[in-house]
């Protein structure tokens, strides 16, 4: 897999241009990556560039869509299976965000559901997205939830970089990240709209699969 280095600013611009040229009016793009690498920050940078292209977008982070702690930690605080696919409230996120912002959706959506820190629901008014809006959904282990993405940006972070970024108290999560990488790493032979980033160092990213013409 060949990666082309570029600046963070150029990456955001080119990703926005690539997204804007994808087929479809309402699009759903996943930014799948380790939280500490900055998947949400990258989605927000791309949203700024989409605005410059006169393309509206909605940035949503799965950090605001965790299940209540009683359900999330039902099998213990260090359960690998739960960490892999059971922390995010997939049903609510699909119902309130992914489906409404899809091609046949109403555009009526929420961006936040729950504050994981306080474990309390957030009272947020529904928002209305234009008919040509793009959903930029950022989060960890996105591809295991069955979300109907039109395209995916994978923030590739090595196991070593993940270990260095996590405090020791969270090293139990490393096995879940390794399992996800084995199950869902998509190589260039896979069909669909996929861009893969080499993102160990977000200040000096490299990209594979992005049309650079």
Q: Is the predicted pLDDT of residue 187 greater than 50, yes or no?
A: no
Q: Is 151 contained in some domain?
A: yes
Query: Whole-prediction pTM value?
Result: 0.93
Q: Above 90 in pLDDT, residue 154?
A: yes
2-61 pLDDT tens trace? 899 999 999 999 999 999 999 878 999 999 999 999 999 999 999 999 999 999 999 999
Q: Is residue 29 part of a domain?
A: yes
| Rounded Cα distance, 74 and 80, in Å | 12
Structural domain contains residue 52: yes
Domain total for the chain?
1
User: Does residue 127 lie within any of the structural domains?
Assistant: yes
| 186 phi/psi in degrees, rounded to 5 | -100, 120
In a domain, 213, yes or no: no
> pLDDT value at position 27?
96
Look at 184 and 70; give whichever has higher pLDDT: 70
| Separation CA 24–CA 142 (nearest Å) | 21
The answer to the question of residue 191 being in a domain is no
Only one residue has tokens 């260090």, namely 78
The C-alpha atoms of residue 147 and residue 182 are separated, in whole angstroms, by 19
What pLDDT digit, counting tens, does each position of 53-71 carry?
Answer: 999 999 999 999 999 999 9
Share of the chain above pLDDT 70, in %: 95
**190 confidence band (pLDDT: 50, 70, 90):** very low
Position 186 confidence tier, pLDDT thresholds 50, 70, 90: low
Range of the domain at 178: 10-186
* Per-residue pLDDT, 24: 78
Is there a domain that residue 197 lies in? no
Side-chain-side CA neighbours of 154 within 13 Å: the count stands at 21
Whole-number pLDDT of residue 184? 80
Beta-ladder partners of 152: 30, 194
CA dist 39 and 48 (Å) reads 15
Residue 59's CATH number: 3.40.50.300
Residue 116 CB neighbours (<10 A)? 15
Is 85's pLDDT higher than 90? no
C-beta atoms surrounding 148 within 10 Å: 11
Span 73-102, average pLDDT:
94
Q: Which of 210, 213, 190 is nearest to 46 (CA)?
A: 210
Q: Taking the CA of residue 147 as centre, how many other CA atoms within 13 Å lie in the half-sphere pointing to its CB?
A: 36
More confident residue, 75 or 24: 75
pLDDT at site 192:
55
- Average pLDDT (191-197) is 78
- The per-residue pLDDT for 191 is 41
Least Cα distance to 209 among 11, 54, 8 occurs for 11
SS3 78: coil
Distance from the first to the final alpha carbon of the chain = 18
- CA 77 remoteness from chain centre: 23
């Amino acid at each position: 897999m060949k990666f082309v280095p570029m600046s963070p600013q150029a990456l955001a611009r080119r990703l926005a241009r690539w997204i804007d040229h994808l087929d479809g009016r309402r699009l759903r793009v996943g930014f799948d990556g380790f939280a500490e690498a900055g998947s949400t920050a990258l989605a927000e940078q791309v949203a700024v560039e989409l605005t410059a292209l006169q393309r509206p977008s909605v940035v949503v982070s799965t950090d605001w869509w965790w299940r209540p702690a009683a359900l999330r930690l039902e099998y213990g605080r260090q359960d690998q299976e739960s960490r892999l696919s059971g922390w995010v409230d997939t049903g609510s996120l699909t119902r309130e965000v992914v489906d409404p912002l899809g091609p046949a959706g109403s555009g009526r959506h929420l961006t936040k559901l729950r504050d994981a820190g306080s474990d309390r629901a957030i009272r947020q008014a529904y928002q209305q997205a234009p008919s040509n809006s793009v959903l930029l959904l950022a989060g960890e282990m996105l591809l295991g939830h069955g979300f109907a993405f039109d395209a995916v940006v994978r923030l590739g972070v090595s196991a070593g970089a993940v270990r260095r970024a996590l405090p020791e108290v969270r090293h139990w999560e490393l096995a879940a990240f390794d399992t996800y990488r084995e199950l869902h790493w998509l190589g260039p032979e896979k069909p669909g709209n996929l861009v893969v980033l080499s993102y160990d160092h977000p200040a000096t990213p490299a990209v594979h699969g992005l049309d650079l013409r």
